[in-house]
Amino acid sequence: MINFETLNIKEARKKLETKEFSSVELVKGCLERIREKDKEINAFITVCEDEALKSAQMADKEIANGNSDQLALLGIPIAVKDIYSTKDIKTTAASRVLEDYIPPYDASAISRLKKAGTVIIGKTNMDAWAHGSSGENSDFGSTKNPYNLEYVSGGSSSGSAAALAASMCLASTGTDTGGSIRLPASFCHLVGLKPSYGRVSRYGIIAMASSLDSIGHFTKNIYDSALILSITAGFDGYDATCPDIKVPPYHLNLEKETNKLTIGLPKEYFKEGIDKKAGVKIEESISRLKQAGLNFVEVSLPNTKYAIACYYLIQTSEVSSNLARYDGVRFGFGRDRFGAEAKRRIMLGTYALSAGYYDQYYLKAQKVRTKIISDFEEAFKKCDLLLTPVSPTLPFKLGEKVEDPLSMYLSDIFTVTANLAGLPAISLPCGFVDGLPVGFQLIGKPFDEEKLFQAGYFYENFEA
């Protein structure tokens, strides 16, 4: 009997090699869990049953032939956010505009995962076009939080978070433009990684905001997260914003002397406005790390209060440009199929870029962005990592914020700054409040994912 609730990638790889179970058994188990629970949770838009079983059979052959050396994810079932192009598998971005779109190619991240032996089990639900923080903007129904079905799983990578939290797969992919991996990770008790902008190629991933989109993933622990990044990261020749920076074997560099790290606590992120009970959980995590010997300093990011305004101008402007291509001519359906949130963002972005308003809005926001970036540069002179909350609130109920777009936008208050500054950040689970998960965030220097993983690994394994 496979224990899906506790199984992680590292353990699954071992057990596949020792033939404790086969990839086909593992995948069949995941498919069974999807059949049992997904009607309620609605994590998947497409379940790739036939393709997954075929991949699993091929994986079992490779394992039998002893070919696993270069195939770090051989036989492992992974769910993919439906914003990643997957060759010959329907890809919708959870929008009726792309309801019947079948990409003729794979995103770079997908090719790399496949090359490493991954079994793609399905395409997950999300806020349409990645526009949202709750999963309620999907054109295919909201995804529910597996920890409490009356609550949201967080967005926009809602289905990926829920699928993994419900153990329907062993990892899942996401995108994070303003918090869309970190927020659902914190709502679903998962490790959610947003790599540095440019660490993972965006080629083949339906673009939301091209200067903010970050390609990352969800896992149950740090080792798995580091392993997946070692596979997806790196220059690929198709994304002009991917610097040719070496990819270290992240999963092999986890055990370092973490007590030499200094963690900064930005005071603007700990003012009022955070749910009290969630705040207590985060304080407990800080105490735990202090107990473990890490140094903490207070730092300041003075332009934090401008981040949401800055983000929502830059992001919507870039969205209005990226969504201009959807006109039903070369693929998909026409623009009348855009939902309310997509239309709202296209309208706002078009206005911010239009003649007479460009300087006042878009250009101004780009200048404020520069100041937000230098805030981080200053802070990182005093510390190696920053620790902050992920969400100002506990997971909220379905329907609670839908009527008020601005209030929904304010959920992103602690996450957008990492996207504006292009920094890597990770959400780590730090417990539950009234049965609802809470997470905290570590933010690192550009391309310094190693320290994020080391600190996270240390936190995971530290016995108080």
Q: Provide the minimum distance between the beta carbon of 334 and another protein in the complex, in angstroms, as a whole number.
A: 9
In the set 37, 81, 445, 451, the catalytic residue is 81
What is the contact mask toward another protein in residues 373 to 402, using x (rule: CB under 8 A)? x-----------------------------
369 binds another protein (CB under 8 A): yes
CB neighbour list of residue 61: distance below 8 Å, 6 or more residues apart: none
CA 82/CA 106 separation, integer angstroms: 12
With CB under 8 A as the contact rule, the residue among 149, 324, 382, 435 that binds another protein is 324
101 binds another protein (CB under 8 A): yes
- Does residue 180 have an active-site annotation? yes
CA 279/CA 262 separation, integer angstroms: 21
Cβ nearer to another protein, comparing 264 with 339: 339
CA 341/CA 335 separation, integer angstroms: 13
1 binds another protein (CB under 8 A): no
273 binds another protein (CB under 8 A): no
Phi, psi of 288 (to 5 degrees): -60, -45
One-letter amino acid of 60: D
Q: Which stretch binds another protein (CB under 8 A): 151-159, 262-270, 359-367, 393-401?
A: 359-367
Cβ nearer to another protein, comparing 222 with 342: 342
One-letter amino acid of 126: M
211 binds another protein (CB under 8 A): yes
- Burial code (b: 16+ CB inside 10 Å, e: under 16) for 297-333 equals eebebebbebbbebbbbbbbbbbbbbbeebeeeeebb
- Burial code (b: 16+ CB inside 10 Å, e: under 16) for 358-386 equals eeebbeebeebbeebbebbeebbeebbbb
Residues 226-255 interacting with another protein (rule: CB under 8 A): 237, 240-241, 243
Active site residues: 81, 156, 180
Residue ranges that bind another protein, judged by CB under 8 A:
100-102, 104-105, 197-198, 210-211, 237, 240-241, 243, 303, 305-306, 308-310, 312-313, 320, 324, 327-332, 335-336, 338, 340, 343-344, 346-348, 350-351, 354, 361, 363-371, 373, 405-406, 409, 421-422, 446
